[in-house]
Structure 1
């Protein structure tokens, strides 16, 4: 069995920790079902661990040298500030455990606000990492040495794997099960727990929310949205808000965690998806309106981010609309 440690601080996000426990328990159960020994030997640590021990479906391990150290979402936003919460004694104790595990050769995995703990331990400096897309501005401010890419849902760099917003913990756990227990066991978890395949945070990003922390970047987003069909580029946006391209690049990265090109690309994808879901316009017309002369480029970006093509997105939107419409006259609702 793989010695596995789960960290839970006081205030840790219950759903994220519970997902971690449940997926590992399911993996062990499926292993036994197919005649294999349990894959994971699990221990809970941290100031909030006692709250989750009643949910363990197996005896808790007592190992001190894990091979896998998992840091789910830690609910750090409940504090006055992220920096203040990361400075508290239990967070410092957690960093000691994380560093010791890394020094001992453990693989480290984390999602959402848990990635702030990894970054504060210095483990992400110079590495590619992801986190919850809405954490990008504060993450970049606190840990500029990290190569952050919040478009990714799950991202591995060496022995460290990071994931996006809290529910991405499910995707992270299935990936860890596949890595350590095999594809068959991971597929069994996915099928039994009815998990959807998601590959990116792009469909869930909202540039307006990301840019809200910086007035000039918010103005840039507003200016660009009105002109996407005019073939504008990054330099045009910078000039429009009175900044040099270099200054604009620096500020958009700090405010959104995206490069200027990705920032503009995301604006185009957001507007395209809105038009797909709310209008009957042909996709070729939508591509033209958001600045793509080649519809296939936009189609690929949408499918890569959303996991669905334009036709599927439109069908899903129509299905959702049909479920919310009032019944025709004379049709009674079910009791």
Structure 2
């Protein structure tokens, strides 16, 4: 069941419908055999009150009815497609809306009935506002990571992940990560082979990380202590840095620094250092002809192979793929 709120991203809803429809078509055609006892997925598009909703592009989207807890059964899936939010201010406006507050209040009741819940982009904020993500891993759209971490410190935020599966709750990154979210749901319900075949038919790449899309400037923080740490890392990007050293720069204890970095950015201090190193490496790759080995050394990695592994982890691709054309 796709639960639409005002401002839903047209692309999120469209790709969700296509993924499920394609999975059902392939199963019915015998091209994607289902596990024994599994039924093809049925889908409905609903709003809270059964009335049409306005999309982020200003289009009126008709729905098939109103969201009802009474009709939900264990094993059903309720999906909140993302709404585009450009900043913390627009997220605040979203969470203050009556429909978002109502949805956040209804989701725990749905979860209590054994329903799987899923959300992408800024809809993850609505899911987090329900309290259901407290103590669980989750992700959100990459440019709102600091806002999410500050609003929901009890959520274990995995900022780099495209999709995070926390059992009966799944979250995904920005709007087009909704495709990845839907493939994950198909894999859970119909099996990985069906999800892989759907991805091939729709020419959807498997993208475990949204790190390659992150822009470092969007992740900068307003915390003066962390700004000092960031400057220090940039000034010393070519050498190893210890947590104690970073703590002295921030004038905080190591534990407090770790807590502040996670609250602001959803990552550890070590990941913060690595992200800045990788961002510097990307700049060098795109603006110079320096070898990958030399760039690795310039950003603090004596082992070029280790640099390549970390670079791929944070960007989803090899250093040579980011190399500027000759």
TM-score by length of 1: 0.82
What per-residue deviation string (whole Å, max 9, x for no partner) do you get for residues 34-79 of structure 1? 27797221122225972489979x9889982151111121335589
Q: Which residue in the other structure is 2:72 paired with?
A: 65
What per-residue deviation string (whole Å, max 9, x for no partner) do you get for residues 196-236 of structure 1? 22111222223332124334423432331231113233333
Residues 231 and 218 (structure 1), Cα distance of their counterparts in 2 relative to 1, 3 Å cut: same
Match of 1:199 among 171, 185, 208: 208
Q: Which ranges in structure 2 are unaligned for 5 or more consecutive residues? A: none
What per-residue deviation string (whole Å, max 9, x for no partner) do you get for residues 278-328 of structure 1? 3222222111111111222111112233332223332xx42xxx7xxxxxx
CA distance in 2, matches of 1:307, 1:225: 22
What per-residue deviation string (whole Å, max 9, x for no partner) do you get for residues 249-295 of structure 1? 33322222211111001111122222223322222211111111122
Q: Which residue in the other structure is 2:7 paired with?
A: 11
- Which deviates further from its counterpart, 18-27 or 214-223? 214-223
Q: Which residue in the other structure is 1:148 paired with?
A: 157
Assess if the C-alpha contact under 8 Å between 2:212 and 2:317 holds in 1: no
Counterpart mapping for 1:46-65 below 5 A: 46-47=47-48, 50-51=52-53, 64-65=71-72
Structure 1 vs Structure 2 CA RMSD = 3.0
Q: Which residue in the other structure is 1:164 paired with?
A: 173
Residues 239 and 80 (structure 1), Cα distance of their counterparts in 2 relative to 1, 3 Å cut: closer
- Which deviates further from its counterpart, 89-98 or 211-220? 211-220
Q: Which residue in the other structure is 1:40 paired with?
A: 41
CA distance in 1, matches of 2:117, 2:164: 12
CA distance in 2, matches of 1:131, 1:86: 15
Counterpart mapping for 1:215-254 below 5 A: 215-254=224-263
Q: Which residue in the other structure is 1:129 paired with?
A: 138
Assess if the C-alpha contact under 8 Å between 2:116 and 2:169 holds in 1: yes
Q: State the Cα distance separating 1:246 from its structure 2 match.
A: 3.7
Q: State the Cα distance separating 1:165 from its structure 2 match.
A: 1.7
Residues 289 and 78 (structure 1), Cα distance of their counterparts in 2 relative to 1, 3 Å cut: closer
TM-score by length of 2: 0.84
Deviation beyond 6 Å, 4+ runs, structure 1? 35-38, 52-56, 58-63
CA distance in 1, matches of 2:98, 2:195: 36
Q: Which residue in the other structure is 1:90 paired with?
A: 99
Q: Tell me the secondary structure at the aligned position of residue 238 of structure 2.
A: helix
Q: Which residue in the other structure is 2:311 paired with?
A: 302
Q: Which residue in the other structure is 1:282 paired with?
A: 291
Aligned residue pairs, count: 312
CA distance in 2, matches of 1:49, 1:235: 56
Assess if the C-alpha contact under 8 Å between 1:208 and 1:218 holds in 2: no
Q: Tell me the secondary structure at the aligned position of residue 108 of structure 1.
A: strand
CA distance in 2, matches of 1:193, 1:60: 28
Which structure has the greater CA radius of gyration?
Answer: 1
